[in-house]
């Protein structure tokens, strides 16, 4: 399947590429820091040369296999950068986003839309990192010199641009939206059935004043979402465990979720749990993880219904799925996920926990481990490993505005399974007001939810 041998055979072999001499001038324009640090420059040299060689090969040769070989050469160099020199990619996030956008567009020309979508989703994480750095620089200028104006920026040596790469930004928005519309997972008809072993629900609600996560206030979420989680778990006979301390005290709470799940799947006691697991407890068969800012809103649907609907053996694969997560235009959101207790899941969690692909927090750590093994260029389009199943957001992890609007994602409606406040922090209004309203209406029948939802503050946020 992998076309690396084909790429090496078709692309001209040479001791030194004719494009070596332009690497530094190009990087001076695209990521100046790469030319100031020898290690970063060395790491970016091969992807830069490979991109130029691929374009030269494309212009001089024709046919699908030839184009696939050229892309394979470029993509292999990029993957090696991410595997071996990820810190260099973090140093130049906008450049990484540009490379991934170009390889995504090339994949589309080969009729590989799914590969294109994965590449543009990975690139979007780097673009977001570049945007954060851009915003941070502007805040530094504002704190030092006052609000920047066009005139003050023009007079400033080495001033940042007035806007963040507007062409790259809009091109990403177009590709993410269009590919999501074309390839999104559709909600399946619910399949109600028997239970599948022991299910536990886990959540981390660590919202104490914490300089690491820049939290200075006590959060009201423990009083809002935890009773919601408990009520849902009690309704279906599931054990619910809320963790009020992080497994990794020196990191933000979301980096602890893979450790929490791993501990329970191996039957260990999670000593940081509020309701600590006893050592003699049998390990659960499935663990459903839900963020503290997410609420169950369809109490009639069980986690066994999710398993029946989305995790059943598929054509060509006689085994149940191991990892269920909702997709959105930007990739996945790991605020809600379901893992089967299996050898595959334990290995997966080990890889996630050791990953340094933190460009978009824990989500990119999970996402990279989901897609990395299938990203090598082949004649067939990309496909997720059979152990992974994507779920429509309405059935798993629906968003609220403004994130649902800004991220072009599915917006929660009554009858959706979970309402997740991703991108809508409790410290801001009207996010907290919407959380209070959600906690009040979550367990109500759909008709009553509809009435309350129409009168809620959601409309004012959009």
- Could you read off the pLDDT of 197-217 as tens digits, one per residue? 899 999 999 876 655 545 556
Count of alpha carbons within 13 Å of 441, Cβ hemisphere only? 24
Question: Residue 10: what pLDDT?
Answer: 47
Is residue 27 pLDDT above 50, yes or no?
Answer: yes
Q: What is the mean pLDDT of residues 205-233?
A: 78
Cβ atoms of 324 and 311 closer than 8 Å: yes
Asked which of 132-141, 355-364, 433-442 is least confident by mean pLDDT, the reply is 132-141
Give the CA-trace dihedral at 460, 440, 240, 272, to 10 degrees: 60
Is residue 278 pLDDT above 90, yes or no?
Answer: no
Q: What is the mean pLDDT of residues 300-319?
A: 89
Domain boundaries along the sequence of the chain: 4-183, 199-393
Q: What is the mean pLDDT of residues 71-81?
A: 94
Q: For all residues of the chain together, what is the average pLDDT?
A: 85
Q: Tell me the pairing of strands 294-296 and 418-420.
A: antiparallel
pTM of the model: 0.88
Is residue 108 pLDDT above 50, yes or no?
Answer: yes
Walk across the sheet containing 398-399 and list its strands.
294-296, 418-420, 398-399
- Tokens 């749990």 — which residue? 273
Q: Tell me the pairing of strands 388-391 and 323-328.
A: parallel
Query: If we measure between CA atoms, which residue out of 441, 401, 406 comes closest to residue 421?
Result: 401
pLDDT tens-digit series, residues 362-392: 999 999 999 998 888 777 899 999 999 999 9
CATH of domain 199-393: 3.90.550
**H-state helical runs in 240-360:** 257-265, 303-310, 343-354
Q: What is the mean pLDDT of residues 59-70?
A: 80
Q: CA-CA distance, 323 to 265, in Å (whole number)?
A: 13
Question: Residue 459: what pLDDT?
Answer: 61
């Amino acid at each position: 399947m992998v076309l690396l041998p084909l790429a090496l055979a078709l692309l001209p072999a040479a001791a030194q590429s004719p494009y070596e001499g332009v690497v530094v001038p190009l990087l001076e324009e695209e990521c100046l820091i790469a030319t100031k640090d020898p290690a970063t420059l060395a790491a970016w040299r091969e992807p830069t040369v490979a991109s130029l060689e691929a374009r030269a090969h494309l212009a001089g040769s024709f046919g699908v296999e030839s184009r696939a070989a050229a892309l394979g050469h470029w993509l292999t160099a990029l993957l090696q950068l991410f595997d071996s020199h990820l810190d260099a990619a973090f140093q130049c996030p906008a450049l990484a986003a540009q490379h991934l956008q170009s390889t995504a567009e090339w994949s589309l020309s080969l009729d590989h839309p799914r590969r294109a979508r994965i590449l543009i989703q990975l690139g979007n994480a780097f673009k977001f990192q570049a945007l954060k750095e851009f915003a941070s620089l502007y805040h530094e200028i504002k704190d030092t010199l006052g609000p920047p104006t066009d005139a003050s920026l023009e007079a400033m040596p080495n001033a940042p641009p007035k806007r963040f790469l507007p062409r790259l930004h809009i091109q990403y928005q177009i590709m993410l939206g269009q590919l999501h519309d074309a390839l999104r997972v559709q909600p399946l008809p619910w399949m109600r059935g028997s239970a599948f072993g022991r299910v536990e629900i886990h959540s981390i609600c660590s919202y104490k004043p914490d300089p690491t996560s820049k939290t200075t206030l006590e959060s009201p979420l423990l009083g809002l979402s935890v009773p919601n989680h408990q009520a849902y778990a009690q309704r279906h006979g599931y054990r619910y465990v809320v963790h009020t301390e992080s497994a990794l005290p020196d990191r933000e709470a979301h980096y602890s979720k893979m450790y929490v799940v791993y501990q329970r799947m191996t039957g260990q006691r999670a000593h940081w749990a509020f309701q600590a697991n006893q050592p003699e407890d049998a390990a659960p068969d499935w663990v459903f993880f839900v963020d503290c800012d997410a609420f169950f809103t369809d109490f009639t649907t069980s986690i066994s219904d999710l398993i029946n609907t989305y995790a059943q053996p598929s054509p060509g694969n006689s085994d149940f799925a191991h990892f269920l997560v909702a997709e959105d235009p930007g990739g996945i959101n790991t605020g809600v996920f379901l893992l089967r207790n299996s050898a595959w899941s334990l290995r997966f969690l080990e890889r996630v926990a050791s990953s340094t692909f933190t460009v978009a927090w824990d989500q990119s750590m999970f996402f990279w481990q989901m897609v990395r093994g299938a990203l090598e260029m082949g004649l067939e389009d990309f496909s997720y490993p059979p152990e992974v199943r994507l779920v429509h957001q309405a059935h798993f992890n629906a968003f609220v505005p403004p994130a649902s609007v800004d991220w072009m994602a599915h917006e929660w409606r009554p009858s959706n399974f979970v309402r997740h406040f991703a991108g809508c922090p409790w410290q801001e209004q009207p996010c907290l007001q919407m959380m209070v309203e959600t906690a009040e209406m979550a367990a109500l029948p759909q008709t009553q939810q509809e009435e309350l939802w129409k009168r809620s503050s959601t409309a004012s946020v959009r």
